[in-house]
Every structure is written in structure tokens, then in C-alpha cells.
Chain A
Amino acid sequence: MNWFLRNWDQVAVALGEHLVIAGSALAIAFVISLAIGIAAARSQRVFDAAMAISGLLYTIPTLAFLALLIPVVGLGKANAIICMVAFSLMILVRNIATGIREVPAEITDAARGMGMSAAEILWRIELPLALPVIVAGLRIAAVTVISVTVVAAYVNAGGLGTIIFNGIASDHPPKIISGAVAACLLAIAVDTSLAALERQLKSRHASG
């Protein structure tokens, strides 16, 4: 606890770095997944192929994935972000595609009857109605990405993992505990706030 009180600024900087890396990975993953997810919602074959490939990527152990990327992109943030994007694809694509598919056909039929174009139906009807399911996916992906970022400190990406690794290297338990507890609290905070958002979106839908 003393170490933390003396070095809280160091932890705060690492926390900020952690959020930036995890946030940018999530943003990139979301844009890619939105494109694949929309295509997968329309075609079962695209859905099956996307699930098979992204499921395989999801199975690869984090540290092994980061290591396999070193010969290709070297050490640093790019390595970490590619790895995180690959890990989030399965969850995001699955939830985006499922969310769009669950929109009742009567609603899209009615929208078409009102003269809406396919693009209008997608942006103004399907995606807004799919939002709770999409946010649920975003929540799981966010937690995954935060967890991967901890490990990514080992390939010099920065973040809270740096404090943990420095603590392990110098055999300094207070440092290890500060880094690890901060990472755990961050994951819990992000998970609970996105869960709250998810509930709010669901109740808004339920009330019309």
C-alpha cells in the first residue's frame, strides 16, 4: 500500500496508456466487425465462414499470438493491437450478426413498405434494434481486450502490465499487487458500466 501511495502517478499513467491501447484496438475491431457482421447477417455462408476463422483465432493462446506476430511486425503497440483485434472479432461479429437477424421480419417489411431503401432500413431500423445485443458483445470484447493488454506489456506495448512485469523482475510484491489489482478493477469497472448500459437499452426497447 505504501508503494502505491508513493507511486500512484506511475500507476495512473500506466492506466491511461492501458485505456488508450485497449480503446483503439476495440474501435478498430468494431469497424471491421460491423462490416463482416452485416454481411454475415444476410448470408449463412458468410456467417459460418466468419465464425470458423474468427473462432480459430480466438483459440490461440494470448502470449503465443503476440509471439507469433513478432517475426512479422516486431515488438510494440502494433503487435498488441493486431492481436487484440483478432481476439475480439469472433465475439463482435457473432453479436452484430445475431442482433440484426433477431429484428422481426414484419418490422423490416413495414419499413420497406414505407419506401425506405435497404441502407435506410439498416441504419435506422436494424442497427438501432440490434443495439442491446451489440453492446453485450462489446462488453465481452472490452473485457477480453483489457486482459490481453496486460500481457501485451511483455512485447513493449505499455500499460498496467508493465508495472506487473517490473515488479516480477525486481521481485517487488507491492508493485506486482498494485499493477494486478489496478488491472482487475479496470476490467470490473468497464464490465459493470457496459452491463448497466445494456440493461438501460433493453428496458428502453421493452417500453417501446
Chain B
Amino acid sequence: MLIDAWRYILAHPDRFGDALWRHVTLSAAALAIAATIAIPLGIWLAGQARLALVVINATNLGRTLPSLAVLALTMPFLGTGFVPSLFALTLLALPPILINTYTAIRQVDPDVIDAARGMGMTQREITRRVVVPLAVPVIAAGVRIASIQVISGAVLAAYIGGGGLGDFITAGIAMMQLPLLLVGAVPATLLAIGADFLMGRVQRSLRPRGIA
């Protein structure tokens, strides 16, 4: 069956390449937009205790929503295709990044901040040169969780016309053609595992030197 799946890919390199490219661009775009919104928002929220309580609780609830339900809910309002899928996947990527950024900033040792202030650093310098570098590994962990969720969610985007590798799976199930199903399922799995591995490396390399 795997050989048949491989033959299908060799026979339709364009179709497979398009789906894979679509899957990667959809996931990467959703992740990039979510990170651009959630990281600055999380840093800012860390200084707003009262507002943060409300936003973080709401975000925690958002985290529990089933991916497919979120994708399905965008369809009646935004229709089908790339943009609605991108919107839904961005929503799914926001909570883990926001929560990890907020937690990361709050976790920074107050003694370290005091020491930086004692050295004459301004609040701005403390944020940019002390707090954020110390928080980066935890923020990267949030991006890593989000990337897995987005790649997994992008498989489901096939249902709302988002394209990607999920198209092969839905077509394979509909026609009960097992090799076709594997053309979608195996690369999607490898993509998720590969992204997790890669993000794990990035996460480790971002750990500031001299900090245990």
C-alpha cells in the first residue's frame, strides 16, 4: 500500500507538490501572524495584572475549543478557501503563544530585575535586554506547541476548502482508496514530527548562555 502511495506521488508530482506547499504556507502564515500578535500582547499584559487575569482566563477557555469546531464556525461567516482557513488556524495558534509569553515574562526572577535597575538600566532597557532574553526559551516552547497544533489543524482545513495534504485524506476516505489516504496522512505526520524536532532545536539554541 505504501508502494502504491509512493507511485501516486511519482505519477502526480505537481498535485502532491502543490498540496504540500499549500500546507506549509498555510501553517507558516498562521503561525507568523499569531506570533506577531501574541508575543507583544503577552509582554504588554505581563505588566497589567488586572486585565491579564481576564485575558488569560479567556485565552485558557479558547485553548479548549475543538480545532474542527473553530474551522467549521468560520465557514458560515467567511466562506471557504485559503483566507477562512488562515483565519481559523491563526485563532488556534494564539492561545499557546500568548499564555507562554505571559508566563515567561512573569517568571523572570525579580532579583535579576532589581540588579538590572541597580546597574542604572531604564525600564525599557530592562524589558529589552534582560526580561525578554530570559523569557525567550519559554516563548519558543509556546510557538512549538502552536506549530504542531497548526499543522494538525491545517489537515482539517481541507473540509473548508483550505487545501493542503488533508485533501488526499478526505478524497481517500470518500473513495475508500487506501493508498490515496496515505499520500496525505504519511507526509502530514512527517511534517508535524519534523516541525516539532526543528522547533525543539531552535528552542534549545535560544537558551541564553550562562543561565542554567
Contact = CB atoms under 8 A, between A and B. Distances in A.
A183 interface: yes
A67 B169 contact: yes
B55 to A, nearest CB: 17
B40 interface: no
Contact of A71 (B67, B166, B178): B178
Contacts of A154: 170, 173
A63 B73 contact: no
A164 B69 CA distance: 8
Given A67-B169, A68-B189, A168 B72 contact: yes
A151 interface: yes
B23 to A, nearest CB: 10
Nearest to A186: B66
B173 A188 contact: no
A176 interface: yes
B192 A61 contact: yes
A52 B53 CA distance: 34
Contacts of B68: 147, 150-151, 161, 164, 180, 183
Assign chain B's interface to a size class: 35 or more
A73 interface: no
A86 interface: no
A143 B64 CA distance: 6
B173 A70 contact: yes
Contacts of B178: 70-71
Contacts of B181: 67, 70-71
A179 interface: yes
A145 to B, nearest CB: 10
A56 interface: yes
A67 B173 CA distance: 8
Contact of B75 (A64, A65, A71, A168): A168
A1 to B, nearest CB: 13
A150 B65 CA distance: 11
Interface in A176-193: 176-177, 179-181, 183-184, 187-188, 191
B64 A191 contact: yes
Contacts of A183: 66, 68-69
Nearest to B187: A64
Given A168-B160, A177-B76, A191-B61, A64 B67 contact: no
9 contacts: A62-B155, A64-B189, A65-B189, A68-B182, A71-B178, A176-B76, A184-B69, A188-B61, A188-B64
Interface of B: 1, 61, 63-70, 72-73, 75-76, 148, 151-152, 155-156, 159-160, 165-166, 169-170, 172-173, 178, 181-182, 184-186, 188-189, 192-193, 196
